[in-house]
């Protein structure tokens, strides 16, 4: 399946563990994993990075297999979940970087077009999160494209 707004078909990705239960070689208990997730969140790591750190440094292949809860569910229980979902906040940061670039390079037509595509993604994703109740219904993203055309 091709990515939206792209001519590529990426095949490179990590593979999730096959089994839905904790492997026998994983020596961490559910409460220890929860404590690690909360500790890493308090240090300022986003949920995706917490999963990578637990996988790479602690040898925990999948948090949900050990705790029966996702990283985000654990963060919500401890009131540490981000206000804006991580994928949407990453798109907002990218749009902000593109706008800063366009302030210096006003005639960069390719970047103007890519910013329009990115803002379209932001609008679609925000509508989804409003429908799901993750974002408040009055949340809005104000596009910054108009001033560069």
Distance in angstroms (rounded) separating the CA atoms of residues 52 and 50: 5
Q: CATH code at 122? A: 1.10.287.10
What's residue 143's pLDDT?
Answer: 74
Residue-wise pLDDT for 50-108, tens only, equals 999 999 999 998 899 899 999 999 999 999 999 999 999 999 999 999 999 999 999 99
Residue-wise pLDDT for 19-51, tens only, equals 778 888 888 899 999 999 999 999 999 999 999
Residue 7 lies in a domain: no
Distance in angstroms (rounded) separating the CA atoms of residues 70 and 86: 14
Residue 132, domain extent: 86-148
10 pLDDT higher than 90: no
Mean pLDDT confidence for 130-142: 93
Do 95 and 116 fall within a single domain?
Answer: yes
């Amino acid at each position: 399946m091709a990515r939206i707004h792209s001519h590529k078909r990426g095949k490179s990705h990590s593979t999730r563990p096959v089994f839905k239960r904790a492997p026998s070689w994983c020596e961490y208990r559910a409460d220890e994993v929860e404590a690690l997730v909360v500790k890493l969140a308090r240090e300022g790591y986003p949920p995706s990075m917490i999963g990578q750190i637990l996988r790479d440094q602690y040898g925990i292949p999948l948090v949900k297999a050990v705790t029966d809860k996702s990283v985000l569910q654990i963060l919500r229980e401890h009131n540490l979940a981000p206000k804006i979902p991580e994928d949407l906040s990453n798109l907002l940061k990218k749009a902000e970087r593109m706008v800063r670039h366009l302030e210096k390079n006003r005639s960069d037509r390719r970047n103007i077009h890519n910013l329009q595509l990115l803002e379209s993604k932001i609008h679609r994703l925000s509508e989804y999160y409003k429908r799901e109740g993750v974002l408040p219904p009055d949340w809005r993203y104000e596009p910054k494209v108009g001033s560069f055309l």
